[in-house]
Structure formats: structure tokens, C-alpha cells
A and B are shown apart, each in its own frame.
Chain A
Amino acid sequence: MTTTTPPVAAIPAKPPETSAAAVAKKKLSSPIASFLTIIIALVWTVPTFGLAVSSFRPERAIKTTGWWTFFSDPVLTLDNYRAVLSNEGSAGLGNFVVNSFVIVIPSVIIPISIATLAAYAFAWIDFPGRNILFIGVFALQIVPIQVTLIPLLSLYVDAGVGGTFWTIWISHTIFALPLAIFLLHNFMKEIPRELLEAARVDGAGHVTIFFRVLLPLLKPALAAFGIFQFLWVWNDLLVALTFAGGNEVAPLTVGLFNLSGTRGNAWHLLSAGAFVSIIVPVAVFLALQRYFVRGLLAGGLKG
């Protein structure tokens, strides 16, 4: 099993050798096709690689020569990382890194839990108005967050929590709910009804069923949505710019954004800072890639 093959039931474990793709591939298996593949692969990797190399080069070298000259004249330093991870000077991003972690943990746990409860109610409890309510929540996925920002901001200020972490946690929770409920509902619907009915016959209530029967089965779905939400929150700029008033609570994306705006040519800092911000989601992503692909195929991409 390759790491990127999506584990979806509809896809045969071993695709037939005469698949349409194979035929098309033979057609395209010419020198031109190989050339094209290599070009695409290079364009998709070399820019990141160049920035990675630069992050270890001394400031002077980065500003006077291209990163590719590194191979003929290799000089390595960790100064750039020291500068961005400290909190001294205008370039220090240390606090922003802390804030990113502080923001992301509750912003992933809280919406997943709320959405799991709601998805359970929509999938397995009969109550009047269920379909209407579900369609309503589903339809809210359409709302672009831009539409909500300013009224939300004034609500937070009126409530006296303006500029604190609470505004960011609550906002990410709210924006995640429609998609989370939709995805988890779809996964829950796939669980055989007999399993739940058997538990009910044994006298289990909804709460028991929820914890004993459903939660263990839902692990892959929760992991899938967990990664989406993690990437979304960690990589978010708009929500953080809007609600994180000053730099005290702003995450790394905002720190990098400011640095890029005020010191756009400080490539030694930008490259190291960008790498710190990239390495965390890439690690999470690679570790849980299987679930991510599964979630993608289930229709989950937040715009």
C-alpha cells in the first residue's frame, strides 16, 4: 500500500492492469511525458528547497549570491534560527510560535467535540425538524467568513474579551462547525444501524452508545477532521489578523506577514521563520496523511 493511496471502499485494493490510466500512460510514455513529469516535480519542490538552503546560510551570503551557489561554496550557520526563535529585536518570532500552539490546541479540540455531539443527534436520534435543521447547518458552509468578521469583532469588544485568545478560539470553533458536522455525520451514517439497535436493546442510553459504540469506530473520521482543522488554524491569517489585536496573541502567520511587510528583503529571517512555520504542519501532515486523504475524498475542503 502506497502512502498516498486513499483507503476508500469504492476503490479496488489492486487496480486492474488494463486500467484507463495505464492505457493513457502508455500513450503518454514518451520522452516528452517524462520531461513534463520531471519539470512539474522540480517546480513543485525546488522553490521550497531553495528557501530551506537559504535559511542555513549567513545573512551576507543570502543577500549577495543565489542559494544555488551554496553547493560550490558551502557555509552553514544556525544564526538565522537563533534570531527568529528569540524574543529580542524586531525580528524575534519566539512569542508568535508559542501563540500558534496556544491557539491551535483548543481550536481543534473544542469544535470537534461539539460537532461530534451534533452529528450524533443528526444521524441517530429521531426528533421533529431534524432534516430542516441539518440542511440549515449544512448550508451555512456557504457563508464566507469575511461576511461575519466585523459584527463578530464588535460582539467580542462589547463582551469585554476583545484582543484575547478567547476571540480566536471561539471564532475558529464557530467557523469549523458546519463542515465538521457534515463530515462526521456522513461517517456516522455509514455505521450499521443494527450495531446501535443491539446496544439499545441491551438497555444502553444515547450517552452510553455514544461513548462505548460510536466513539471507537469514529477514530479515523475524527483524525481526518482533526488534521483539516489543525492545518486550517495553524495556517490561518485572516482570522488572526482580524481578532488578535496586538502582537501579544498573534500567531506565527501574522508574525511572518508583518516581517515580510516591514523587512521584505530580510531573507535570512524570512527563510528561517517560514521554515519554522512550515515544519510543524508538514510533520503532522506526513504522520497522518492517510486520514487526510480520506477526509479529502469525503468532500472536506474548507474554502
Chain B
Amino acid sequence: MFTVPSTAVGKFAQAGTAVLLFVAVVGIVLFIASRFSGKRGDKATAVAFLAPTVILVSIGLIYPGVRTIFQSFFDAAGKKFIGVDNYQLIFTSSDQLVVLRNTFLWVVVTPLVATAIGLVYAVLVDRSPFESIAKALIFLPMAISFVGASIIWNFVYAYRPAQGTIKQIGLLNQIVVWLGGTPQQWLLDAPTNTFFLIFVLIWVQAGFAMTILSASIKAIPEDIIEAATLDGAGRLKMFRFVTIPSIRPTMIVVLTTISIASLKVFDIVRTMTGGQFDTSVVANEFYSQSFRADNQGLGAALAVLLFILVIPIVIYNVRQLRSSEAR
């Protein structure tokens, strides 16, 4: 039961077994809970309903988290205590500084551009005859995996040397050729290559920004707009002084949500360049150090760094989410 089945049928049978096994566990939980009644029953039910969650989360999130923090103070083999040397390395070695610079670019550029495009597009297609289809077009990349998106864009960026009768197969280089330029290897030269990678995440996330902001714009109360119109506000003033302030909390939620996703970006970098040509980011470097370079200590320190960087953004995000809900 705990081995890998060799046939497709066997694999699905095992998946079925897993689901059934788990249904049985839930059945037992519910049966125990239904045996009790009254105040004592409340407590027993709560314990039974929460036990699976508490057990799984303790084993799968809390213990590993603490363990990784601990491990980040040890050497590559995880044997010798070396204090904060791993962290020192992250902030001093030239390779790691490039990683930090790239991560900074991702976290700043992606949310700003994705949100701007989402906002502009939401306003432009609002109540046009094609609104729903126009939105769906931008929204659809959200369903595509980062690996799929990376392949789509690798193909756009594809390069063929400009000699003889060789034709370009990548759309971007073909456009460059049509405009009279020479084809480029877009993913080769740092730091511009990072921007070509960042664009892939913008492409995926703009739909998210557009959907949330569009809903927020449509929810602006009519009386505010009427009052502004009576006060003689022009169109640009309306956008600047009514629309933007009204959706500001939502905009901040969108910005912070996308920056969290940008901070953790791994799949795009791993698939498109593997972190070569100075394109690595913290999440990718974590993977390389932990699973390729066998440097457990440094890998753990990079994971903890990711954790520390996420915390302030998440706290800010939750606060804004609350205030946008209270509105």
C-alpha cells in the first residue's frame, strides 16, 4: 500500500484507497462526536473536529519550520554549529548579492506593473460591449501553470542567429527583424534578462489585479459620484479624487498579494533559465543550495530569509484587507 504502483489502474486504485481510508477516519471522528451531547458534547465535538488539523499542521508546518530555523545556524552538512555565518554569506558574497538584487526587482516591479495594467484595463473595458470576453482573455493566464507560462514565453523569446536564410521562430525577435533590428538573446544579459522573466509573472498576475479592482470600482457608491459631479468635478479629477481614493485599500491588498507571490517566485526562474546568467532569486537559490549543492545550512538560511521577508508584507496585507472590508 505504501509503494508505487506500476500501472495506471494501480495508481488510481491507490488514490481511491487514500480517499476511502480518509473517509473512514472522518467517519470515526463524526461517530465519536455524535456520542456526546450537551456542554460536554461541545467540547468533545470540537476536539474531534479539530484533531486532524492540529496533528497535520503541527507535524507538517510547525515542527519543520522550527527545525529549519535551527538548521540555518549549522554548516553545509548540518553537523557543526556556525552561528550566523550563513546569513552573513547571503549579505556579503557577490553571487548572493545578485540574488538579493534580483529578488528586490521582482518584488518591486511585478506588483506595480501588474496592478497598473490591471487597473487601466479594468477601466478601459468597463461596460463596453465586449467586457466579459475582454476580461476573460486577460484572466485566463491565471489558470496556466508557471511551467506552462514559462514555455509559452520561452517560445516568444526564442532566438536564431541572424545569418543567411535562417528565419526567426520567436515572435519577439521576428518583430525586431520586421522593424529592422538584429535579433537578441533576451535571457542572456544581466540585469535586463530578469525583466524578461518578470514579465511572465506580470502576464499571469495582471488578471488577478484586474478582477479585484474591477469589482472594487463597480462597488463605489453612487452618492459619492453624484456629490462630486454636483461639486463640478471634471473627469480627470473624478478619477484622481474619487475613483483612486475609493479603491485605495483594495489596490494595496492587490499590490501586497502580488508582491508576496513575487517574493516566492521559483517555477518561472527554474524553468526559463535555471537561475543561470545572474537571474537567480531567493526561492530558486534555496532550491539550488538545498537540493543541488547539498548546502543544507545555506538553503535553510535562505528559506528563513524568505519567511522573514514575507512577514511584514502579510501583516500589512491583512490590515488593509480588514479596512477594505470594514469600508
Nearest Cβ distance between residue A96 and chain B, in whole angstroms?
11
Chain A residue nearest to B296 in the complex (CB): A150
B243 to chain A, nearest CB (A): 4
Say if the beta carbon of A174 comes within 8 Å of chain B.
yes
Q: Is B243 a contact partner of A152 (Cβ separation < 8 A)?
A: no
Check A274–B60 contact: CB distance below 8 A. no
- Chain B interface: which of A98-106, A190-198, A213-221? A98-106
Give A266-278 as 1s and 0s: 1 = Cβ < 8 Å from B's Cβ atoms. Answer: 0100110110011
B151 interfacial contact with A, CB 8 Å: yes
B123–A274 contact, CB under 8 A? no
Shortest C-beta distance, A128 to chain B (Å), equals 8
| Given known A-B contacts A110-B18, A117-B26, A11 and B46 have beta carbons under 8 A apart | no
Whether A102 lies near B15 (C-beta < 8 A) is: yes
Q: How far is the CA of A21 from the CA of B214 in the complex (A)?
A: 9
Instruction: For A137, list chain B residues within 8 Å (CB).
Output: 53, 57
Q: Are A257 and B52 within 8 A (Cβ)?
A: no
Interface check B73, CB cutoff 8 A = no
Q: Does A76 sit at the interface, judged by CB under 8 A?
A: no
Is B188 an interface residue when CB atoms closer than 8 A count as contact? no
From DSSP, what is the main secondary structure of chain B's interface residues?
helix
Tally of contacts, chain A with chain B, CB under 8 A: 393
> Is B169's CB under 8 angstroms from A66's CB?
yes
B249 at the interface (CB under 8 A from A): no
Q: Judge whether A207 and B61 touch: CB under 8 Å.
A: no
**B: contact size bracket:** 35 or more
B19–A21 CB distance below 8 A:
no
Q: Tell me which residues across on chain B come within 8 A of A118, comparing CB atoms.
A: 49-50, 52-53
For chain A, what secondary structure do more than half of its interface residues adopt (helix, strand, loop), or is it mixed?
Answer: helix
Name the distance in Å between B112's Cβ and chain A's nearest Cβ.
16
State the Cβ distance, A136 to closest chain B Cβ, in Å: 9
Q: Nearest A residue to B30 by beta-carbon distance?
A: A207
- Verify if B12 is at the interface (C-beta below 8 Å from A): yes
Q: A114: which of B14, B53, B69, B174 is its contact (CB, 8 Å)?
A: B53
A50 with B141, Cβ < 8 A, contacts A3-B136, A133-B50 known: no
List A contacts of B127 (CB < 8 A).
15, 21-22, 25
A264 CB to closest chain B CB, in angstroms? 7
- Counting CB contacts under 8 A, is B219 at the interface? yes
Chain B CB within 10 Å, residue with most, of A36, A127, A130 = A127
Query: Whole-angstrom distance between the alpha carbons of A106 and B137 in the complex?
Result: 31
CB distance A163 to B4 under 8 Å? Answer: yes
| Known interface pairs A47-B156, A47-B171; A277-B60 also in contact (CB < 8 Å) | no
Q: Is B161 an interface residue (CB 8 A)?
A: no
* B126 close to A (CB within 8 Å): yes
Q: Contact: A6 with B151, CB < 8 Å?
A: no
| A18-B229 in contact given A137-B57, A237-B266, A267-B169 (Cβ < 8 Å) | yes
A140-184 interface mask toward B, CB cutoff 8 Å, 1 = contact, 0 = none?
111110111111100100001101111001110111011001000
Kindly provide the distance from the CB of A224 to the nearest chain B CB, expressed in whole angstroms. Answer: 13
Instruction: Check A8 for interface membership: any CB of B closer than 8 A.
Output: yes
Which chain B positions have C-beta within 8 A of A25?
Answer: 123-124, 126-127
Is B145 a contact partner of A278 (Cβ separation < 8 A)?
yes
Report how far A67 CA is from B191 CA in the complex, Å.
29
Contact of A37 among B4, B121, B257, B287 (CB under 8 A): B121
Question: 0/1 per residue, A119-146, Cβ < 8 Å to B?
Answer: 0111001110010010001001111101
What are 8 A-B interface contacts by the 8 Å CB criterion?
A19-B126, A51-B155, A66-B170, A103-B15, A141-B314, A146-B264, A146-B303, A151-B67
Rank and list the top 3 A-B pairs by shortest CB-CB distance, nearest first: A174-B60, A235-B145, A2-B132
